[in-house]
Structure 1
Amino acid sequence: MIKLTQEPIDTTALLADVQHEEAGAVVLFLGTTRKFTAGRETIELYYDAYQEMATQELERLEQEARERWSLVECAIVHRLGLVPLKEASVAVAVSSAHRGEAFEAGKWLIDTLKEHVPIWKQEHWADGSQEWVHPGAPSSSVTGGDA
C-alpha cells in the first residue's frame, strides 16, 4: 500500500494494514520532525512532491522489496505539506514470517526512498530562514539527518 497524504499519519491503521496471521514480525519505521539539526533549531518541516512520479517510484520500491524479501504485507506513507515537531513525515511498515526479513526490508525501503523518490523537504528554522533539501543530495552539516 502506497499513500501520499496531507493528514497526520495514522500509525494504528498502518500497523493494522500490515498485520497478518502469517506474519510473525511487523516492523514500523517513522521519520519524525526533530527540534535540532546540526545545532540549528527547526520549528517545522514542509514537504512537496512530484506526486505522480513519487507514487510510481514508491510502488516500484514496494514491488522490489517484495521480490527481494518474503514479505507478507508492505505499506509506505509519506506526508506532504507542513509537519510540526514530533509528528511523522514518513512511515514504512512491513510484515514477514520472521524478524530478519522485516528489519532488512524496512531499512532498505526507507534508505532507498530517501535517495530516489521525488519528495523534497524544506526546513523551517527558528531564525525565520528556510532551506530546501532535495532527494539524493548529499547531506551537509546543516541538513543532515535521518528523517
Structure 2
Amino acid sequence: MNKSNNIFQKFVLITGILNFPIGIGMMIQAISNKNPEILITNAVSGAFILFAGATLIWASKDLKSRIPIVVWNGLVRMAGVLLVLYASTIGNVPKEMLVISAMDFALAIIYVIGSKKITQIPFSKLILGKVKNQLKS
C-alpha cells in the first residue's frame, strides 16, 4: 500500500470512528426530549449514523474490495447537504447544521475523489460495486 492509500485508509477509519459519538448523541437527545413527533426519526437517524460509522471502519480494513461503501457514504452525505440547502430556502436552519453540512460536503468530496484516485476504477463501476477484477495493485 503506497503512502496516499495509507493516508486515505486512516482517514476513512478515523471518520468512521467519529460517527459513533454523533450517532449516540442523536439517539440520546431524541430519547431525552421525549417528543414523539421526532423521537423515532431522530433515534433511527442516529442508529443509521452508527451503522455508517461501522461500515466505514469495516471498509477501511480492505479498501481495495470495499471501496464502494466509502463512495456511497460520500453520496449519502452529499444528499444530506442538498437537503440542508433546500431547507435553508424554505426556513431557518440552525448555524450548527450549516457547519455540519459544510464538513459533510468536504467529506463527500474527499470520499468520492479519493476512492476514484486510489483505485483508478471508473466512478460508474464504484457506485455499482463492480470492483472485482478492476483493482490495480
Identify whether the pair has TM-score above 0.5, normalized to the shorter chain.
no
Q: Which of the pair is proportionally richer in strand?
A: 1
**Which protein has greater RCO, CA pairs closer than 8 Å, 6+ apart?**
1
Question: Who wins on radius of gyration, i.e. which is larger?
Answer: 2
Name the TM-score, length of structure 1 as normaliser. Answer: 0.30
Q: Which of the pair is proportionally richer in helix?
A: 2
